[in-house]
Amino acid sequence: MNFYIIIPAHNEEAYIGKTLESLVLQTLSPKQVIVVNDNSSDNTLSIVKEYALKHNWITIINTTSSNKHLPGSKIINAFNKGLKNLDENYDIVCKFDADLIFPSNYLEKIAFHFNTNKKLGMASGFCYIEKDGKWILENLTSKDHIRGALKAYRKPCFLQIGKLKASMGWDTVDELLAKYNNWEILTDESLHVKHLKPTGKSYNKASKYLQGEAMYKMRYGFWITLISALKLSYKKGSFKLFRDYMSGYFRAKSNKVNFLVSKDEGQFIRDFRWEGIRNKFQK
């Protein structure tokens, strides 16, 4: 399988070399890796250039955006810049973060899953973070959700969901739209990926309302947003985040922010979410 990998990178000098080294050591080599250097002011560019000189399947492009580290639009805009520089000869397209260390068999195992199940649209491993000298499962990780840090898409699925949305919530709506279009999603618990920088660590303060806005844009409605905001703020250990999420939802509703999905897709998403909530209460 032809793997094309796009890595948006903003000031990742402490991590990007380790990520690229882990891709160099893969038992199944990717066909192309593009690092999108997004307005970095550190040594990210020079580190990637060193790898590009040694491996002709690694390239780098530069783009300029805001210095603010906002989730959603910034990273997907960078991803899309990389996508425009790739040809169409890929089987699997990946959006990877620049702060990951992959086990050497990662791409080989992901390829196995895609080859085994033709209805598999997305796949990934699990993210682990270092705490007190030990690598533990990152608390945002779930067997039912592929983290935004390590997305891998089968080409027809990627195209059918309309590629990636430049918005907070892109890494949830992509899965929901995949399921809407009858694709399956898989997370492989045996693939332990080291996540060197915990999610959200460097996000700008201006991002605090974006999660709630994303729930509105996915047409969750009030009650599902309420439940989702409570669950997410509990996982992150902050009731203040719950207030921010709900404020973001109501701000988006008041401003009539454009939705990310159609009415039919929104109805599917609400039905799917309610089914998941009912199933958890019945266990």
Residue bearing tokens 């990007």:
16
The distance in angstroms from the start CA to the end CA of the chain is: 39
Output the pLDDT for position 283.
63
CB contact at 8 A, 51 and 133: no
Output the pLDDT for position 199.
62
CB contact at 8 A, 161 and 262: no
pLDDT tens digit sequence for 210-254: 889 999 999 999 999 999 999 888 888 888 999 999 999 999 999
pLDDT tens digit sequence for 15-74: 999 999 999 999 999 999 999 999 899 999 999 999 999 999 999 999 887 655 556 788
Element (H or E) spanning 84, and its range?
helix 73-84
DSSP designation for 201: T
CATH of domain 3-195: 3.90.550.10
CB contact at 8 A, 193 and 103: yes
**pLDDT at residue 200 tops 70:** no
pLDDT tens digit sequence for 121-163: 999 999 999 998 899 988 777 788 999 999 999 999 999 999 9
Question: How many whole angstroms separate alpha carbon 48 and alpha carbon 53?
Answer: 9
**Residue 235 CA from chain centroid, whole number:** 18
Strands (E), the chain: 3-9, 32-38, 58-63, 92-96, 100-101, 120-131, 134-137, 150-154, 184-195
Output the pLDDT for position 204.
46
Parse the chain into domains and list their residue ranges: 3-195, 205-282
Question: How many whole angstroms separate alpha carbon 222 and alpha carbon 215?
Answer: 9
pLDDT tens digit sequence for 68-101: 555 678 899 999 999 999 999 999 999 999 999 9
Q: What is the pTM of this model?
A: 0.90
Band of residue 205 on the pLDDT scale cut at 50, 70, 90: low
**Residue 32 CA from chain centroid, whole number:** 19
